[in-house]
């Protein structure tokens, strides 16, 4: 696997590469070679990948892309790596590596180039980890509130006089998203009146593990959408990976459903497609769009349209986004009503729904 990765990056051009065969060598190279980005396997002789990652984040915080097994165990380990500070991952081929690696080569290069430009700091990661550990020890039924955001010059669009259960919060995220979702969902209380629907770019073998992990510590009930699910207040819904997540109606009730991914779209679950489907069944004043860290521009087009039609939108601020691609595209399109640092997004959502 190391030889194949070396061949891939050497062939791509623009990379200066060194290779470690175990965690101890990786820590030594961290200080001598001083890489811009590290690719790291979880399973290594001696010091495993999670131990190595933890030391990287403490000794010299560096963007890390995990090379992960596409299994249930691999998903749990990878999400633990995200909590420790890794910003992205890619699935390790299941069959003959030399054959199947070609299928992920382009995506691997794209992710590593993006990670090399990502922002990561000792302060940001430690703050997120302390916040997450605090959330983990709180009772699930205990309501939580986010940090109070700084005052913004933009006026808040008022809520219409309707039943708040008819509204939805739509969240889109990609690179760095699992750790960002940790922070935002921990700040949303159990009695939050609108369902929260999340499109996180991720393979299908990982989204179930992500939903279970978030459900363990946040006050909301978190569900992976694998079939039609009625949307209820106090719940968050994670779109199944490698599919698209759509909003529809069944009788008088709103539902979320998993749909085959649209081949013309690059990332799945597609944030643009989620927001577009929601606008077909709810007026824009009943929708709040949130676009957080991630490379590319998925979600920016439809959330800008949502803002133009009178919906409310939040873009994560550049100073906290691991990759400011998606939220930056929304800001560039003039579609962000609020630009908030990560730890203020939950408080802004509570404010917008009148809590």
Q: Spot the catalytic one: 298, 337, 338, 343.
A: 298
Q: Phi first, then psi: give them for residue 5, nearest 5 degrees.
A: -65, -40
Residue 338 appears among annotated catalytic residues: no
CA dist., res. 133 & res. 246, Å (int): 32
Residue 298 appears among annotated catalytic residues: yes
Q: Spot the catalytic one: 68, 114, 174, 205.
A: 174
**What are the distances in angstroms from CA 290 to CA 56, 63, 114, 130, 193?**
31, 24, 21, 24, 16
Residue 174 appears among annotated catalytic residues: yes
Alpha-helix residue ranges (DSSP H) falling in the chain? 2-12, 23-32, 49-59, 72-84, 97-100, 105-116, 122-136, 177-186, 204-217, 271-281, 300-308, 325-332, 345-352
Q: Spot the catalytic one: 201, 235, 268, 338.
A: 201
Helix (H) or strand (E) holding 340: strand 338-340
DSSP string spanning 44-80? -SSS-HHHHHHHHHHHS---EEEEEESSHHHHHHHHH
**DSSP single-letter state for residue 93:** P
Active site residues: 174, 201, 298
């Amino acid at each position: 696997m190391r030889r194949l990765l070396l061949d891939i990056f050497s062939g791509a051009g623009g990379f200066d590469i060194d290779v470690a065969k175990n965690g101890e060598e990786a820590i030594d190279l961290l200080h001598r070679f001083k890489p811009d980005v590290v690719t790291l396997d979880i399973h290594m002789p001696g010091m495993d990948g999670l131990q190595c990652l933890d030391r990287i984040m403490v000794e010299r915080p560096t963007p890390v892309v995990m090379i992960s097994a596409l299994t249930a165990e691999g998903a749990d380990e990878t999400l633990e790596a995200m909590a420790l500070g890794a910003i992205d991952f890619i699935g390790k081929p299941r069959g003959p590596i030399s054959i199947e690696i070609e299928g992920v080569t382009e995506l691997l290069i794209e992710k590593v180039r993006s990670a090399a430009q990502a922002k990561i700091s000792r302060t940001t990661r430690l703050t997120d980890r302390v916040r997450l550990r605090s959330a983990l020890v709180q009772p699930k039924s205990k309501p939580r509130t986010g940090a109070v955001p700084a005052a913004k010059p933009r006026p808040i669009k008022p809520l219409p006089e309707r039943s708040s259960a008819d509204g939805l919060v739509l969240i889109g995220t990609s690179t760095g998203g699992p750790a960002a979702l940790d922070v935002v969902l921990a700040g949303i209380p159990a009695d939050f009146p609108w369902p929260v629907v999340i499109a996180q770019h991720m393979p299908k073998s990982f989204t179930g593990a992500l939903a279970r992990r978030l459900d363990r510590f946040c006050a909301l009930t978190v569900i992976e959408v694998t079939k039609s699910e009625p949307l209820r207040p106090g719940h968050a819904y994670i779109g199944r990976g490698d599919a698209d997540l759509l909003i529809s109606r069944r009788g008088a009730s709103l539902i979320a459903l998993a749909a085959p991914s649209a081949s013309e779209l690059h990332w799945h679950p597609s944030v643009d497609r989620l927001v577009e489907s929601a606008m077909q069944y709810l007026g824009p004043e009943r929708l709040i769009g949130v676009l957080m860290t991630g490379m590319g521009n998925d979600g920016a087009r439809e959330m800008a349209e949502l803002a133009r039609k009178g919906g409310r939108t939040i873009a994560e601020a550049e100073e906290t986004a691991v990759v400011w691609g998606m939220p930056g595209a929304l800001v560039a399109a003039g579609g962000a009503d609020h630009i908030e640092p990560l730890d203020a997004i939950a408080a802004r959502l509570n404010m917008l729904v009148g809590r």
